[in-house]
Amino acid sequence: MIFQLVLAFFGLTSNNAPQYRMNIFTQIHEIVFHGNGGYDYITIYDMPIWLRNFTFNKIKEWHDKIKPKDVDDSWTNSEAKTEASKNKKINPPGYVMKASRKK
């Protein structure tokens, strides 16, 4: 018997399999981590792909919705940076004395 097909299995090739596995495990980690204890690894791993994708997208939407829109970080504020750059030089007091050594 002669088979016309070179590949007997239509699936992942060796080029994209590692990236696909990394995406799956990253998605499982994100669901378990951000699920606030509602999911465990085995449950998510055995979950159907469509349901895992749905769960992942719902958790992502919820986190995107509660994320603050405009975070005012004083360290990245341009006014704070200019004020901090003015105060770079520290002048020690004039009465600095050396500590006495005990012998």
The CA-to-CA distance between both ends of the chain, in Å, stands at 98
Domain of 47, in residue numbers: 15-66
Residue 42 domain flag: yes
Residue 4 domain flag: no
Contact between 30 and 53 under an 8 Å Cβ cutoff? The reply is no
Give percent of the chain with pLDDT exceeding 70: 52
Please give the pLDDT value at position 90: 65
Task: Please report which confidence band the pLDDT of residue 89 belongs to, taking 50, 70 and 90 as the band edges.
Answer: low
Residue 58 domain flag: yes
Instruction: Record the pTM.
Output: 0.52
Question: Which residues are within 8 A (CB) of 27 and not within 5 positions of it... i.e. 6 or more apart?
Answer: 52, 53, 56
Task: Please report which confidence band the pLDDT of residue 19 belongs to, taking 50, 70 and 90 as the band edges.
Answer: confident
- Domain tally, the chain: 1
Contact between 4 and 28 under an 8 Å Cβ cutoff? The reply is no
Contact between 34 and 59 under an 8 Å Cβ cutoff? The reply is yes
91-96 average pLDDT score: 66
Alpha helices in 1-103 (DSSP H): 17-34, 41-46, 49-66, 78-86
